[in-house]
Amino acid sequence: MDKDKIIQTLILLTQAAGVSGDEQEPAAVAAGCLEPYVTRLHRDLSGNLIGFKEGAGGLEAPSLLIAAHIDEIGAMVTKIDRGFIRFTPVGGLDPRTLLGQAVEVHGRQRLKGVIGARPPHLLTRKERQQELKIEDLYIDLGLEQEQASRQVQVGDYISLDQPLLVMAAGDCLAGKALDNRSGVASLIFCAAELAEVRHYCHVYFVATVQEEVGVRGAITASYGLAPDLAVAVDVTHGLAPGIPEEDGFELGGGPVIGIGPNFHPVLVEQLKVLAREHHLPYQVEPVPGPASTDSRAIQISREGIPSTLLSIPLRYMHSTVEMLNADDLLLTGRLLGYFARSIDLSLVEGLKCI
């Protein structure tokens, strides 16, 4: 799978609307992409998409879980106010990024809308100095109250509407839901790599649901599958003006390996060794507290699952112009593949000796 193919995969994934709790569309896209590379594929009762790739080790072989969440931030209808739609966030919507954005309201049919607010000309001086709040915003569908009430009801989902942009140099991409469809794309890339080689361990590729509202899919998937070890794949902050170097990572600098209490030191070291051995650039992120990713849920599932975290640097997180470098996505998928191929019984036994 080359860069052009992975970019096309990412376009398909990001254009599917999948707000937390309503991930059917992107899960169907991911299933179509994963199916050629796995032994079997299903969705569990929580909605997680699970692809199983059988290893060569037979019954005694350990199992590896690779998880990337497939849901995205969005909103939900709370009120129809004279034809205008009031809404509440689903996940971490930033009001600063919303004014003027195009959206789709998932009513009886998909309805195009735009997010509006009172224009600055009609605000008092004090109001112009205040921070914009969700309560100040509404969605304009261009419909009257009666028309809107026939098409929309309280509880309908609202997704952001933004195509994926290929930037000038061709390496960087910007759009919505790259947190974390990029992780899902790297998971698919890894599956394609493993389809061409022999590996000892069994691998579960899991596109988890509802991460943005409490890592819920990771909780149920890790409990149900009970793997011997796991890697979560997500995004982290990319360097940009105003972001301190210790809080951001270079786009194009390779995947970011998490270090901290959530992450098993043997697995962290294994990722570093493999990256150096195969001449893959990587970066390191200290995470002293609980990680705000699926890795947090996986680590404390059942009696504990040794786990680690790979992150893709991403600028403008939780906006419609999230930006990444496609090379980081490919490097993440490749490192995941080398990691899966390195797992044997001796490595898993060594996880108990720290």
Q: How confident is the model at residue 231 (pLDDT cuts 50, 70, 90)?
A: very high
Average pLDDT over residues 317-345: 97
| Residues 103-116: tens digit of each pLDDT | 999 999 999 999 99
Q: Is the model's pLDDT at 88 over the cut of 70?
A: yes
Q: Is the model's pLDDT at 353 over the cut of 80?
A: no
What CATH number labels 74-160? 2.40.30.40
pLDDT at 108: 96
**Mean pLDDT of all residues in the chain?**
96
Which range has highest mean pLDDT (1-15, 16-30, 278-292)? Answer: 16-30
| Residues 173-200: tens digit of each pLDDT | 999 999 999 999 999 999 999 999 999 9
Q: How confident is the model at residue 230 (pLDDT cuts 50, 70, 90)?
A: very high
Residues of CATH 2.40.30.40 domain(s) within the chain?
74-160
Structure tokens at 327: 């090379």
Q: How confident is the model at residue 354 (pLDDT cuts 50, 70, 90)?
A: low
CATH class (in words) of the domain with range 3-72+176-350? alpha beta
Amino acid at 84: F
Q: Phi and psi (nearest 5°) for 127?
A: -65, -35
The continuous run of DSSP H or E covering 89 comes out as: strand 84-90
Q: Is the model's pLDDT at 167 over the cut of 70?
A: yes
Q: What is the dihedral of CA 60, 61, 65, 66, to 10 degrees?
A: -170
Of 23, 211, 212, 322, the active-site residue reads: 211
Any idea which residue has 């490097």 for tokens?
331
pLDDT > 90 fraction of the chain, expressed in percent and rounded: 92
Q: What share of the chain is helix, strand, coil (3-state, %, to 5)?
A: 35, 25, 35
193 is catalytic: no
Average pLDDT over residues 85-110: 96
Average pLDDT over residues 303-314: 97
Q: Is the model's pLDDT at 125 over the cut of 90?
A: no
| pTM listed for this prediction | 0.96
Average pLDDT over residues 32-55: 97
Please tell me whether residue 342 adopts helix, strand or coil conformation.
helix
CB within 8 Å of 153: residues ≥ 6 apart: 77, 107
pLDDT at 38: 98
Residues of CATH 3.40.630.10 domain(s) within the chain?
3-72+176-350
Average pLDDT over residues 68-82: 97
| Residues 281-300: tens digit of each pLDDT | 999 999 998 888 999 999 99
Q: Return the sign of the alpha-carbon dihedral for residues 247, 251, 253, 258.
A: positive
Q: Is the model's pLDDT at 352 over the cut of 90?
A: no
pLDDT at 196: 95
Q: Report d(CA 176, CA 181) in Å as an integer.
A: 9
pLDDT at 312: 98
Please tell me whether residue 203 adopts helix, strand or coil conformation.
strand
Q: What is the dihedral of CA 229, 308, 310, 335, to 10 degrees?
A: -50
Average pLDDT over residues 8-15: 97
Q: Report d(CA 319, CA 179) in Å as an integer.
A: 9
